[in-house]
Structure 1
Amino acid sequence: MSTLGQITPPPEWAPHKAVWIGFPSHPDLWEADLDQAQAEAVAFARAVHAEGRGEEVVLVAADKESAATARKLAPFADVTVELFGDIWLRDTAPIIDGSGRARDFGFNGWGGKYDLPGDEDIGARLARRRGITILPCDWVLEGGAIDGDGTGLVVTTEQCLLNPNRNPGLGKAGIERLLRQDLGYDRVLWLGDGLLNDHTDGHVDNLARFVGENRLAIPRSPENDPNWRVYQDAAERARAAGVEVVEIPSPGRVLRDDDVVPASYMNFYIGNAAVVVPVYGTAQDDAAVAAIRTIFPDREVHGLRADAILTGGGSFHCISQQIPA
């Protein structure tokens, strides 16, 4: 195996040793949605744990009071206390590479939009707590901005990785060089924009997800979906690159307080025993879960409501980061 192959992170469907899941902890951030967001996070964790048939679940709480709530609601989980700004561990926790080391990237609050205490170094603290070797990487990268198929192929969006609020001046060639150097990705599938009103600047885990080697799931739009052109462009780019596209129904237009929110079934999490799909009470929920069930016939596929978590801007994939076996 090449050196690159040794460091390439395993695909999400490969076996996991455990998963970190952020537990909503800050009343000032979540306000009236806090209790429901906690309940949704625990339901997600329970499905992933699958009564011991899945993987170890580590709920990460920001303070002792929240940790006590997490232990009460989720007695099946390990609960740890680490200061963080918010629960989006896909972006702030480390990415574990193919050699089992933690790649700890720079984090700047999604381009300077949300500067919250603890988010800048929680990745190193989580890795250190589990005794994982840490390799600092001196550029900004969030885990939700990329998705790999385990063969060296990675998908991302131009909107996010080329945004001057992350790594100004690098350009495509520079980003590709660093993805190869630090994560072993030797082929990059560049999609265009992400979802409307996604304050991560277009994270790919809300748009397109690898579900097999060279096999990419992308939403298919109902007529009312404000992102239909984004989905169409993504599918065209993927097919032009020789990547197989699997279409999944999209939720369509989802509103909160009359504003379009970035609701996406693509924010599913692939665990050892279960795939957990966020649903939002739309007419497409059942069809989307059924479509994803056909992709993963060897796993239980659950559609779980994620309305409250979505008020913070993400869903189940965004609040989790797996630790490969």
Structure 2
Amino acid sequence: MSDMKPHLLPEWAPHAALWVGWPRLVEEWGGSLDGPRQDIARFIRAAAEFVPIRVAAGSDEAEATARAAVGDCAEICRIPTGDIWMRDTGPIITGTGETRRAQAFRFNGWGGKYLMPGDTETAAAIADHEGIELSQHEMVLEGGGIDADGMGRLLTTGQCLLNPNRNPDMDQAAIEASIAGALGVTEFTWLGDGLLNDHTDGHVDNIARFIAPGHAICQHPSGADDPNAETLQEIETSLRRAGLEVTTIPSPGLVKDEDGNPIPASHMNFTITNGVVIVPVYEDRYSLVALAELSALFEGRKVIGLPARHILNGGGSFHCMTREIPA
């Protein structure tokens, strides 16, 4: 191979496997694991019809409960995990076939907010299980903070990547240089802020995603009380200004937690894998429109909407809890 530079593939490239996290830390889930495990088991069963699923179980109890719930349709893997957020703690795989490399960035608990034992060991454990060589990087980066189109373009947010709680000694130029070297990215589109009350400091996979080279999708506000109305409009403007083709679908609108606070529900946190796109849904008004529009955009893939309210209580959704392994 003459070109050994790393190449970050788009999520719609063929997958050899899809890793899914299994919840194990009851204190991270408001005292009960039943709800999130139910949502995730439903996701695993749907995805397993399209791609081999590997469930990351971080304790004996997690391994036993995952095996009981989905052991018939997924491989249950005992590896160190803090909790389910494979997108952020797992490795970012570049290349295909023999050129595959597992790029492992430093993980610091989303800027030191949520430090869970096992999270810093997950990336190396997945790479080892897959038999893919590991490259370690000093920079702090979570996979949910970036989104790529496979042609060198990358979406990210200043709120997350330029946050002093991640890489205080690096400016934007240094961060771009580091990512370009590790992932082969050539063009950066910087968005501003993410969704209201997002624990991750505005991960881009909750607000904008590539669905084809140079083609990004984001959300328009739903309902007069959409808590992210201004932010969503700003995101769309920024994407268009960057010269990308932009399509919008409805947001889930105002979705509240038990205490009545808006939670960062988003139709953007979908997982793309072989032949299917699995979309988190939180209500049945705007989500029906979003699913119909996504079906038209993802030609040749089945689009499935599944409830994800319980997972969001832990801080994320389907994309946050999965990590694909390119074929």
TM-score when normalising by structure 2: 0.95
- Aligned mate of 2:56, from 51, 55, 60: 60
Aligned residues: 321
Does residue 18 (structure 1) correspond to residue 14 (structure 2)? The answer is: no
- Structure 1 SS opposite 2:233: helix
Q: How far off is 1:288 after superposition?
A: 0.9
**How many angstroms apart in 2 are the aligned matches of 1:162 and 1:28?**
30
| Map of 1:80 onto structure 2 | 77
Per the alignment, in what secondary structure is the counterpart of residue 268 of structure 2? helix
Q: Specify the SS of the correspondent of 2:35.
A: helix
Whether contact under 8 Å (2:80, 2:125) holds in the other structure is no
Tell me, in whole angstroms, the C-alpha distance in 2 between the residues paired with 1:261 and 1:279: 13
Q: Which amino acid aligns with 1:255?
A: K
In the aligned structure 1, how far is the partner of 2:133 from the partner of 2:214? Answer: 30
Give a deviation string over 1:267-323, Cα, whole Å, max 9, x none.
Answer: 000010210000012421111111111111211111000010000010000000000
Cα contact 1:47–1:274 (8 A) shared by 2: no
What is the distance in 1 between the residues matched to 2:190 and 2:29?
Answer: 34
Matches within 5 A, 1:200-279: 200-222=200-222, 223-256=224-257, 257-279=259-281
Question: In the alignment, is the contact (CA less than 8 A) between 1:33 and 1:308 conserved in 2?
Answer: no
Query: Which residue of 1 is the match for residue 42 of structure 2?
Result: 43
Matches within 5 A, 1:1-325: 3=3, 6-50=5-49, 54-74=50-70, 75-98=72-95, 99-222=99-222, 223-256=224-257, 257-325=259-327
In the alignment, residue 39 of structure 2 is paired with which amino acid?
Answer: E
Structure 1 position 251, deviation (Å): 0.4
Aligned residues of 1:61 and 1:83 also touching (Cα < 8 A)? yes
1:3 & 1:200 partners in 2: Cα distance? 35
5+ residue gaps, structure 1, are none
1:172-213 Cα deviation digits (max 9, x unpaired):
111111111110001000000000100100000000000000
Are the counterparts in 2 of residues 179 and 186 from structure 1 also a CA contact under 8 Å?
A: no
User: TM-score w.r.t. structure 1 length?
Assistant: 0.96
Letter in 1 for 2:6: I
- Distance, in Å, in 2 between the alignment partners of 1:323 and 1:284 is 32
Equivalent position SS for 2:252: coil
Q: CA RMSD in A?
A: 1.4
What is the one-letter code of the residue matched to 2:22? Answer: F
Using the TM superposition, give the Cα deviation of residue 94 of structure 1 relative to its aligned residue in structure 2, in angstroms: 0.2
Counterpart amino acid of 1:184? G
- SS of 2:24's partner is coil
